[in-house]
Each structure stands twice: as structure tokens, then as C-alpha cells.
Amino acid sequence: MTAMLAVSLSIIAIVMSAASLGWQVITWQKGGPVVDVTVSTSMPTYGDRVGDPHVTVTAMYTGRSPVTVNGWGLRCPDGQNMVMINNLAWSTPLPHRLEPAADGKWHILTEDVRKQCEARGIRYQDLVAYVNLADGRTADAGKRGINWT
């Protein structure tokens, strides 16, 4: 009977240890660099004047340890990228260190994106925004396309 109790307790201890290890792996994966990328249309204002529409790519950081954004762009459906080299003056400077609960925003004229899409024969609804991270990863927007009319 004592041997049966010892075996039962050993099995329970092994199961609990495995569950604990599994939980630690999950929290470790979720706790590292987590960047949520979104894309939207923005309209800059200059006093009482409204400027031309812009595509705005936002990287919001929700992880625990900081991460650096080295670049950003728009990915075409064929896998080619529109890499943005010259950022507009009000874009977040690159490289940009994202601390917990921080974001970065990068802008390009909507008309420039439309011209690139027309030249490549693709729809802007099929573009995917992304940011390149210093650790070699790329974070993509969760939704495809740019919302403008």
C-alpha cells in the first residue's frame, strides 16, 4: 500500500512538473518582443488646411523586453516588398527603440502607394504592412489592405 501511494504521488509530481514547465514556456514566448502592426489612412493638418492623405503604419509594442524597429514597408501579394527608405519628416526616426507600451508611426503619401500599385498591377487591398525588427524578425499587420476610399 505504501508503494502504491509513493507511485501515485510520483506520478502526480511528474504531471504537475510537466504542467508547470509548459506554462513557463508559454509565458516566456508571450513575454518576449511582441509587436502589433496596423495600417491606416491619416490626414495631416496645417492650421486650418488639411493635407494630402497618407498611409500610416503603426507598430505598437505589447511585450516586456524592448525591441528595435530597423525598417518598415508594404508587402505585395507576389512577395515583393515596397521598402520605405526616405521617411517623411513626421515619421518616427529609424532605428527606433520600442519600449513596453510604446509605439512608432511611419507615413507615406497615399498617392505614392497608389502609383506603385498601378505600376505593378496589384490592388492596394492586397498589401500587407510590416516592420523589420533588429533581432531579424519581421512583424506583419494582422489584416491585409489599406483602408481608404
- Tell me the pTM: 0.76
List pLDDT tens digits, range 106-129.
Answer: 999 989 999 988 998 999 889 999
Q: What is the largest CA-CA distance in the chain?
A: 86
List pLDDT tens digits, range 20-57.
Answer: 888 888 777 666 678 999 999 888 888 899 989 999 99
Confidence of residue 149 (pLDDT cuts 50, 70, 90): very low
- Residue with the three cell numbers 527603440: 97
Mean pLDDT, the chain, as a whole number?
88
State the cell numbers at 11: 506520478
